[in-house]
Amino acid sequence: MKKYQLGEFEEVVMLTVGILYNDAYGVSIKKEIEERLKRSVSVGALQTALKRLEDKGYLKSHEGETTAERAGRPKKYFTITAYGKKAVAYTKQTRDELWSAIPKMAWNTKVISI
């Protein structure tokens, strides 16, 4: 089903926006992902993902107030839409179904190194 298709990084971004709730903007999202997942995130990749998620209707954005420390530029805040919530729930359900379909025996097999 392609209706709610999320890539792995898109899923991480969506979940992070949810975690940050009212404080989800570019720098805070990047920092949160890097701290929680111990993984480097490029600004370009994050901005591309945020734009793509907004284009899909999963996120919406609004501008905050301008500040002197940002040279008068406002922060762009993101929130999850109702459609985005359905996409995340669908992704979780799909992953849970896949995990539960793995036979217990499959986890007990020994891996042979080549």
* Domain boundaries along the sequence of the chain: 8-108
pLDDT reported for residue 3 = 78
CATH code for residues 8-108:
1.10.10.10
The pair of structure tokens assigned to 59 is 């996120």
18 or 112, higher pLDDT: 18
Mean of the per-residue pLDDT values of the chain: 91
pLDDT reported for residue 69 = 73
pLDDT > 70? residue 2: no
What does DSSP assign to residue 5? -
Global pTM? Answer: 0.85
pLDDT > 90? residue 37: yes
| Burial label, 20 (beta-carbon count in 10 A; 0-12, 13-18, 19+) | middle
Measure CA 72 to chain center: 28
Grade residue 70 by pLDDT with cuts at 50, 70 and 90.
Answer: low
pLDDT > 90? residue 27: yes
